[in-house]
Amino acid sequence: MLQAMRGGAKSPIMKAFLVFLAAGFALWGVGDVTTGLIGGSDKAISAGDESLSPAEVAIEFDRARRSYLPNATLGEALETSLLSEIAGNLANETLFRAEASTLGLAVTRDMQRKAVANENAFRDELGEFSRTRFLSALAQAGLTEEQYLARIDTGLRRQQIVDAISVGIKQPNSAAKALTAFELERRTAQMVSVAVDSDTIGDPSDDMLSSWFEEQKSGYAAPALRSATVGMIAPEMFAAEVEVTDRDIENAYADRLDEFTTPERRSVRQMVFEDLETAETAFARLTDGEEFAAVAADLLEWTESDTTLGLVSRSDLDGAVGEAVFSTDAGGLAGPVESVFGVHILAVDDVVAGGETSLADVRDDIIAGIQIDAATDMIYDKVNVLEDRIASGATIAEAFNEVGGKLVSLQDIDRRGNDIDGAPVNSDASDSLVLDAIWDSEVDELSVIREGSDDMFFIVEVTDEKEPRDRALDEVKVRAIADWKTAQAIEAARKEAQSIADSKNSFAGIDPTTDFRRNGTGLDHEAARLIAAAVFGQDIGDAGVVETGTEAIAVRTASILPVGEDELAETSALISGVIQNSIRQDVLNTLARDLSQTHDLQVRLGAVQQVLVGSQ
């Protein structure tokens, strides 16, 4: 709802503010959530003497739904985990209010003021608190100032409790510094690659191949295999049979006209004020020739990006605002006009005309759509005929000859749809649903008709089954020779690369790589991670071998580049903060779990759902 206004009034603020509000959602997992109404209780969430009614939880859920799932219906939102997340957040707040009440904790006005002033979402470009941004963000979130301060109170009380417990639990700075130095260290390497080339390997003798095959024969065993006949019908098989008249095409075009119509859009900038008097002052200054950006910066402390709504259509804007914008020509001003967000002054910079795609341009697409729709309806009638014919004793071939469709024969496939050598069998009938049916059915019996994806229906008749078995060398000799030659080529490449790595002079004249991280970032090679693991596991001057299957690489550690002091200090401070926050989060989660027992936390969402459904 009012999507463009949410995005346009103060999109950077709103983004940060919603993140702020959502921060607690993942904190609390609702355990014993009752989905039915228990005992007619008027408390959806209760802990100690603190509670929330079903209506209060429902209001919070609907506010979140409008912000996070603006295009979802109430029913669709209830099918997601949003209600549980909201209830978890509210349960957490209720718990800490109960504990704060027990401890007699208080929040002063000065504490509230500092908390609001320190919230980044409410600061301007100079880092100063902006009341305009504060009120705009609250309006877009659907919160009054009183409601927001109540949330601040809960957060501050919770912070006092957690701080008292976690104040002595700190991660030593030296640990963060050591971790940072380890992670940000960079290295360079010298590399010599030896390709794996099986073409340079001659064929093995019969004795050599037999000996090798005995050691590898388990890899050539035949899996369990089945053969089956699969009958399939799908709308696209019959679409071409559907006759489409000109009237059908014209009616479909009219029904889908919105799809082929581009609405008029306008490029808009806006300022949003708290009162009409200031808005009229801004409008007068603009009328006198002042620049829009200059007035916005002076009266609102907004940047040019803050004022930009971009290209919007009529449906993107609130009623009065949309009416004002779309009754103003390009280059004109609109306003003052009031909405739930305040008083707007708007500048229409450009008009992008809408239009319709002609019937001639989309005729083929419309015909195809009509045919598929009609063929989809036909499919269900054909399924009924198939069922009747099969029930009367017809074979799968006889039944499909009558209704049409496709018969596919699959020979000797395993559970994954591969052949005896593990190669995929390319077939329309080898998708996962058909394969499941083949391996679930009895041999020589027709399966029931099953529905696949995209309105496709199929039936399976398993005609043969072969048990797993070992295979003799003669059955796989060509494949075995190729595999033997590859194995020999890999071994030869490994030995050559190891010889290079062992030689002190092999890397002379080899340029080192660019420096790279422990995870391979910065190294331009498909095996960057493998190479980095080897290089970071060696001292300077040491060399080893990395194998990729297509090459063996002699890798020498050329240099070690410690992280710079400035980067070390900055990053270790960040890591230290992350670790400390994680510790606090663990303390908070553990404390919340214990408090749920102490204050007998109860969560009843069935009553909330009844309120939501009733309101709808």
Q: Report pLDDT digits (tens) over 584-608.
A: 778 778 888 888 889 999 988 888 8
Return the pLDDT at 126. Answer: 73
Are 25 and 85 within 8 A, CB to CB? yes
Angstrom distance (rounded) from CA 35 to CA 125: 47
Return the pLDDT at 22. Answer: 38
The amino acid occupying position 65 is R
Query: What value does the mean pLDDT take over residues 34-41?
Result: 37
Please provide the CATH number assigned to the domain covering 264-353: 3.10.50.40
Topology (CATH level 3) of domain 225-237+379-466: Chitinase A; domain 3 (3.10.50)
Q: Which segments of the chain belong to CATH 3.10.50.40?
A: 264-353
* pLDDT (tens digit per residue) in 457-495: 999 999 999 999 999 999 999 999 999 999 999 999 999
Return the pLDDT at 411. Answer: 93
Where residue 10 falls among pLDDT bands split at 50, 70, 90? very low
Mean of per-residue pLDDT scores for the chain: 85
Per-residue pLDDT at 120 exceeds 50: yes
Residues 6+ apart with CB under 8 A from 225: 412, 413, 414, 420, 465, 466
Return the pLDDT at 32. Answer: 35
More confident residue, 73 or 486: 486
Where residue 455 falls among pLDDT bands split at 50, 70, 90? confident
Are 321 and 327 within 8 A, CB to CB? no
Per-residue pLDDT at 547 exceeds 80: yes
Angstrom distance (rounded) from CA 424 to CA 293: 63
Query: What value does the mean pLDDT take over residues 103-120?
Result: 83
Per-residue pLDDT at 532 exceeds 70: yes
- The neighbour count for residue 273, using CB atoms within 10 Å, is 24
Please provide the CATH number assigned to the domain covering 3-168+579-615: 1.10.4030
Most confident of 40-49, 293-302, 489-498: 489-498
Query: What value does the mean pLDDT take over residues 507-519?
Result: 94
Per-residue pLDDT at 13 exceeds 50: no
Return the pLDDT at 472. Answer: 94
Q: At what angle do helices 396-403 and 359-391 cross, to 10 degrees?
A: 150
**Cα separation values, 361 from 182, 255, 357, 525, Å:** 62, 16, 7, 48
Return the pLDDT at 190. Answer: 96
* pLDDT (tens digit per residue) in 319-362: 888 889 999 999 999 989 988 778 999 999 999 888 878 888 88
Where residue 8 falls among pLDDT bands split at 50, 70, 90? very low
More confident residue, 201 or 164: 201
What DSSP line would sit under 292-316, residue for residue?
HHHHHHHHH---HHHHEEEEEEGGG
Q: Which segments of the chain belong to CATH 1.10.4030?
A: 3-168+579-615
Query: What value does the mean pLDDT take over residues 277-282?
Result: 92
Backbone angles phi, psi at 115, to 5 degrees: -65, -45
Q: Against a cut of 0.85, is the pTM above it?
A: no
Where residue 170 falls among pLDDT bands split at 50, 70, 90? low
Return the pLDDT at 97. Answer: 87
**Cα separation values, 119 from 16, 24, 113, 128, 576, Å:** 9, 15, 10, 10, 21
Q: At what angle do helices 131-141 and 3-22 cross, to 10 degrees?
A: 100
More confident residue, 399 or 258: 399
Gap between the terminal Cα atoms of the chain:
16
Query: What value does the mean pLDDT take over residues 224-243?
Result: 92
* pLDDT (tens digit per residue) in 437-452: 999 999 998 998 998 8
Per-residue pLDDT at 1 exceeds 80: no
Q: Tokens 């978890």 sit at which residue?
A: 88
